[in-house]
Amino acid sequence: MKIAVYGASGYQGKLVLAELARRGITTVLVGRDAARLTAAAAAVGMIDAEHRVARTDDHDALVAAFRNCAAVINCAGPFTRTGHAVVRAAIAAGCHYVDTSGEQLFSKSVFDTFADEAERAGVTVMPAANDGCVPGDLVAHLLADRLGPLAEITISHFLSGGGYSRGSLRSAADTLEAIRSGGLGYVDGEWRTGIPARTTLITRPGESAPTAMVKVPLSEVITIPRHVPVRRVESLVEAAVGAQLAAPIPPELIAGAPEGPTEQDRRGQQFSYLIDAVDRTGRAGRGVIRGRDTYGLTAVIAVEAARRLVTDRAKAGVLAPAQAFDPAGFLAHLEPFGVSWTIET
């Protein structure tokens, strides 16, 4: 198995390379700058790994770079700018595709744009193979299996510690309008903008006081309705974090920021994601996902997703995580990396 990593020299890209190296998977590093690719390979001990240079504005070069690879992992954000070019080239090269994007509108555009093209090519495309969307999507599916058809799902993200990479800051800057508006919500079979949040307070497990929340554009809103019968889906984040994300970030500040959190910072980061559901009779359920190190976990998820698309052969097309993988089986793979999950109804 040979997997190409586009954006291999970036912060998230190098974490993906390290995970591929740990698992002994043959890797092709792809990016715009040969010197940076060489440095990235050296940083993760891939001295002999193949490098291929291709820009996103050169379709033929990108297709050639992905040729003879089984899958492509795209780590080059902001994805809204260049992601379509990488998806299109991966499909043309006959490769399965995953990316580490957290950009909600980009994820929806991949489903809208490439479903037929991927199906005709016989490849599987899965956007948003990240720490939040994949476990959240999988747990939502298992929760719905217990409750049945749902009236609503609310996804809430809680983060402490860690910090952001330059790539994440650039993505936030590029999608600032969507962040400020709360992004898309799902209502009665349609994704819509401008829908006020139904929930503004969430009480976390083990706490008595609720936390103020605001709408935020998460990719789970795009993926969950594709396999869960539900009337309404919205996604939330702590109000303080939402205000931080909605503040404009000058480009010079991003350029001068560290490449990303240190390993020590990543180890100290904690997250919990809540999936609150209500079925159509009023019965409630909650899925709780806990873990650490969002960037490191994203690397684990992206590599395992690409590997499973190659070896387990999900159906062709653009798929949500729970459409591509057995939910309980994939979640079990994450447990040794500090991920725990529970469901209560």
* Cβ atoms of residues 19 and 306 within 8 Å: no
Q: What is the pLDDT of residue 339?
A: 98
CATH of 133-293+337-344, picked from 3.40.50, 3.30.360, 3.30.1910, 3.30.70, is: 3.30.360
User: What digits encode the pLDDT tens for the residues 38-92?
Assistant: 999 999 999 999 999 999 999 999 999 999 999 999 999 999 999 999 999 999 9
User: What average pLDDT does range 297-315 have in this prediction?
Assistant: 97
Q: What is the pLDDT of residue 316?
A: 98
Compute how many other C-beta atoms are within 10 angstroms of the C-beta atom of residue 115. Answer: 15
DSSP 247: S
Q: Are the folds of 2-129+297-329 and 133-293+337-344 the same?
A: no
Task: Determine the length of the chain.
Answer: 345
Q: What is the pLDDT of residue 70?
A: 98
User: What average pLDDT does range 261-278 have in this prediction?
Assistant: 96
Q: Where are the domains of the chain?
A: 2-129+297-329, 133-293+337-344
Q: Which fold does the domain 2-129+297-329 belong to in CATH?
A: Rossmann fold (3.40.50)
CA 268 to chain centre: 21
* Cβ atoms of residues 55 and 79 within 8 Å: no
Question: Does pLDDT of 249 surpass 90?
Answer: no
Q: What is the pLDDT of residue 38?
A: 96
Q: Give the strand pairing for 26-31 and 2-6.
A: parallel
* Cβ atoms of residues 95 and 306 within 8 Å: no
171 vs 31: CA distance, rounded Å? 18
Q: What is the pLDDT of residue 120?
A: 98
215 vs 154: CA distance, rounded Å? 10
Q: Give 152's strand partners.
A: 232, 278
Q: Which amino acid is at 258?
A: P
User: What digits encode the pLDDT tens for the residues 142-193?
Assistant: 999 999 999 999 999 999 998 999 999 999 999 999 999 999 999 999 999 9
Its pTM stands at 0.97
- pLDDT range class, residue 313, cuts 50, 70, 90: confident
Q: What is the mean pLDDT of the chain?
A: 97
Q: What is the pLDDT of residue 75?
A: 98
